[in-house]
């Protein structure tokens, strides 16, 4: 068994602090856990007999079977005792959801140290305290909230439960799905490095997103990250960049944020892709999980919307990518096959009455052109069967990245179909071009490091 497998693939889970009250974490987490999880679940609460139809145990010691993972939701002061009980029962993995530790000051800090020493004594590894738990849809295990169940290739490690939940909700809504989620909290034991290392060799994870406020051990982080990025993309949103932000980091989890400039340099050295917002964290991770590597950075834009084509062009040039130049042969072929009012340039404007077939014709010619590495395909109208055309050309020697906007109900249907077939699609040209830029940076990093 690999390190941390008990957290993501437990055969049985106990929830200490399970609650009968809807809205309480001890209730919602138990409910989410019961949704799809196939292992045994043991609620623990000294003053309840049944919760959500399950028999409740007075204490961990009363649970008559072995427990792989314990989730702790009791008030801070009661957590050390629970940890002792867990140790005595031979439990080796714990998630401490409860807050009220290092993040609230000196007294909480002491309590946290106590936790660490109990865990050490019994050889328990634990996540938290002050965290939002973990999720592994591939095992049907949502030991967190809100309920997220869609399986997918994106992993998220997050210092913030809310950032993790937001990421998961977007992935769920789009039908993209999650491989693993871990919300770090105070990182008293397990930290982002342990998790990154674990996810690096997780076959269900194709790309790792991280939200971090401070890194636990710079050198070790770099070593692990360098190793993981050689196999899969790692995308990082780092906060606490400004003076005020760094102060806020200290208040949040009692950590030092450090200079963002130094972080950025280190990220680049380790092949990590830095991003600037929660939305970009999601967009780039999604894109890099699914897209093949481009052979170069020459971008051709195909669109039914002239305006969207121009906005894309500004971003392509602004972000340092290159606008491709079609060969004369390609131009001639397109002239022969497209209506006369189409604009055969870059952007290639198929105009507002374009249907899926017209895109197919255009892509057929563009895919023959060796001067083009990446095709940003923008559907700017209700265009049925867009997903079919993109599926046909996806992963056929060039990178194709679709954008869909202004298409109303048809757009929703086609986007869902694309995501269901593992094709990342974006709601605006700006967001798509940023993903292309990140993909190109990562590709160049890989080329550089494998050459050496």
Residues in 77-106 that interact with a second copy by CB under 8 A: 99-100, 103-104
306 contributes a contact to a second copy by CB under 8 A: yes
Indicate the DSSP class of residue 293.
P
Q: Which residue has the tokens 């342990």?
A: 194
Kindly state the helix (H) or strand (E) to which residue 176 belongs, with its residue range.
none
Residue among 284, 4, 9, 6 at smallest CA distance from 154: 284
Q: Which stretch binds a second copy (CB under 8 A): 13-21, 33-41, 80-88, 339-347?
A: 339-347
CB under 8 Å to 55, separation ≥6 — which residues?
A: 43, 49
Which 390-419 residues touch a second copy, going by CB under 8 A? 405-409, 411
Kindly state the helix (H) or strand (E) to which residue 80 belongs, with its residue range.
helix 79-89
Which 354-373 residues touch a second copy, going by CB under 8 A? none
Q: What are the CA-CA distances from residue 134 to residues 187, 211, 222, 228, 317 (Å)? A: 13, 15, 24, 21, 40
337 contributes a contact to a second copy by CB under 8 A: no
Binding mask 139-178 for a second copy (x = CB under 8 A): ------xxx----------xxxxxxxxx--x---------
SS3 244: helix
**For residues 68 and 94, what is the distance between their CA atoms, to the nearest angstrom?**
9
- Burial zone of 150 (CB within 10 Å; 0-12 exposed, 13-18 middle, 19+ buried): middle
| Residue whose CB is less far from a second copy, 91 or 273 | 273
Nearest distance, CB of residue 420 and a second copy, angstroms: 21
Binding mask 33-72 for a second copy (x = CB under 8 A): ----------------------------------------
- Residue 1: other Cβ atoms inside 10 A: 6
248 contributes a contact to a second copy by CB under 8 A: yes
- From first CA to last CA, the distance across the chain in angstroms is 34
276 contributes a contact to a second copy by CB under 8 A: yes
**For residues 428 and 310, what is the distance between their CA atoms, to the nearest angstrom?**
12
341 contributes a contact to a second copy by CB under 8 A: yes
Dig out the tokens for 330 from the structure: 């390609």
Q: Please check whether residue 194 is in contact with residue 169, taking contact to mean a CB–CB distance below 8 angstroms.
A: no
Q: Which residue has the tokens 């830029």?
A: 437
Nearest distance, CB of residue 116 and a second copy, angstroms: 19
**For residues 35 and 73, what is the distance between their CA atoms, to the nearest angstrom?**
19
Nearest distance, CB of residue 9 and a second copy, angstroms: 25
Nearest distance, CB of residue 240 and a second copy, angstroms: 6
One residue of 345, 364, 385, 416 binding a second copy per CB under 8 A: 345
One residue of 85, 189, 202, 381 binding a second copy per CB under 8 A: 381
296 contributes a contact to a second copy by CB under 8 A: no
217 contributes a contact to a second copy by CB under 8 A: no
| Residue whose CB is less far from a second copy, 136 or 346 | 346
Nearest distance, CB of residue 322 and a second copy, angstroms: 9
241 contributes a contact to a second copy by CB under 8 A: yes
211 contributes a contact to a second copy by CB under 8 A: yes
One residue of 343, 413, 420, 446 binding a second copy per CB under 8 A: 343
Which 180-209 residues touch a second copy, going by CB under 8 A? none
17 contributes a contact to a second copy by CB under 8 A: no
One residue of 244, 261, 336, 452 binding a second copy per CB under 8 A: 244
Nearest distance, CB of residue 239 and a second copy, angstroms: 4
**For residues 53 and 154, what is the distance between their CA atoms, to the nearest angstrom?**
33
Q: How many residues form the binding site for a second copy (CB under 8 A)?
A: 82
* Concatenated DSSP letters of 15-39: EET--SSTTSHHHHHHHHHHHH--S
CB under 8 Å to 223, separation ≥6 — which residues?
A: none
| Residue whose CB is less far from a second copy, 323 or 420 | 323
**For residues 91 and 70, what is the distance between their CA atoms, to the nearest angstrom?**
7
Dig out the tokens for 95 from the structure: 């998630």
Q: Which residue has the tokens 């049907």?
A: 140
One residue of 384, 395, 396, 448 binding a second copy per CB under 8 A: 384
Nearest distance, CB of residue 135 and a second copy, angstroms: 13
One residue of 41, 249, 266, 366 binding a second copy per CB under 8 A: 249
| Residue whose CB is less far from a second copy, 124 or 350 | 350
CB under 8 Å to 132, separation ≥6 — which residues?
A: 97, 144, 145, 161, 162, 164, 165, 183, 185
Nearest distance, CB of residue 176 and a second copy, angstroms: 16
Nearest distance, CB of residue 74 and a second copy, angstroms: 13
One residue of 129, 153, 347, 424 binding a second copy per CB under 8 A: 347
Q: Cis check for the bond before 129: say yes or no (omega within 30 of 0).
A: yes
254 contributes a contact to a second copy by CB under 8 A: no
């Amino acid at each position: 068994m690999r390190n941390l497998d008990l957290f993501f693939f437990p055969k049985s889970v106990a929830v200490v602090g399970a609650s009968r009250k809807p809205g309480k974490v001890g209730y919602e987490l138990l409910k989410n856990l019961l949704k799809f999880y196939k292992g045994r679940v043991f609620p623990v609460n000294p003053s309840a007999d049944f919760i959500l139809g399950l028999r409740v145990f007075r204490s961990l010691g009363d649970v008559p079977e072995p427990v792989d993972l314990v989730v702790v939701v009791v008030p801070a002061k009661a957590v050390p005792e629970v940890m002792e009980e867990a140790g005595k029962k031979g439990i080796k993995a714990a998630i401490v959801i409860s807050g009220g530790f290092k993040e609230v000051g000196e007294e909480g800090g002491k309590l946290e140290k106590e936790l660490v020493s109990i865990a050490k004594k019994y050889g328990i590894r634990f996540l938290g305290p002050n965290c939002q738990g973990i999720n592994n849809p591939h095992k049907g295990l949502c030991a967190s909230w809100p309920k997220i169940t869609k399986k997918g290739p994106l992993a998220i490690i997050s210092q913030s439960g809310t950032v993790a939940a937001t990421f998961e909700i977007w992935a769920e809504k789009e039908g993209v799905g999650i491989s693993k989620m871990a919300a770090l909290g105070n990182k008293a034991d397990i930290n982002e490095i342990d998790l990154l290392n674990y996810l690096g060799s997780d076959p269900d994870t194709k790309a790792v997103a991280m939200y971090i406020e401070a890194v636990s051990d710079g050198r070790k982080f770099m070593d692990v990250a360098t190793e993981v990025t050689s196999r899969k993309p790692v995308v990082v949103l780092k906060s606490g960049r400004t003076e005020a932000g760094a102060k806020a980091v200290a208040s949040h989890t009692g950590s030092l944020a450090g200079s963002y400039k130094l972080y950025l340099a280190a990220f680049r050295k380790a092949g990590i892709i830095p991003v600037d917002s929660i939305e970009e964290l999601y967009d780039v991770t999604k894109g890099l999980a699914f897209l093949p590597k481009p052979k170069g950075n020459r971008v051709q834009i195909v669109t039914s919307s002239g305006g969207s084509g121009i906005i894309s062009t500004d971003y392509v040039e602004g972000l340092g990518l290159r606008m491709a130049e079609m060969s004369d042969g390609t131009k001639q072929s397109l002239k022969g096959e497209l209506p006369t009012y189409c604009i055969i340039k870059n952007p290639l404007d198929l105009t507002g009455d374009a249907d899926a077939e017209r895109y197919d014709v255009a892509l057929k010619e563009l895919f023959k052109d060796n001067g083009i590495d990446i095709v940003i395909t923008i559907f700017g109208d209700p265009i049925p069967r867009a997903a079919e055309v993109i599926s046909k050309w996806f992963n056929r020697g060039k990178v194709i990245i679709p954008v869909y906007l202004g298409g109303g109900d048809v757009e929703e249907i086609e986007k869902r179909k694309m995501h269901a077939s593992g094709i990342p699609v974006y709601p605006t040209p700006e967001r798509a071009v940023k993903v292309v830029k990140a993909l190109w940076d990562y590709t160049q990093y890989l080329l550089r490091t494998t050459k050496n």
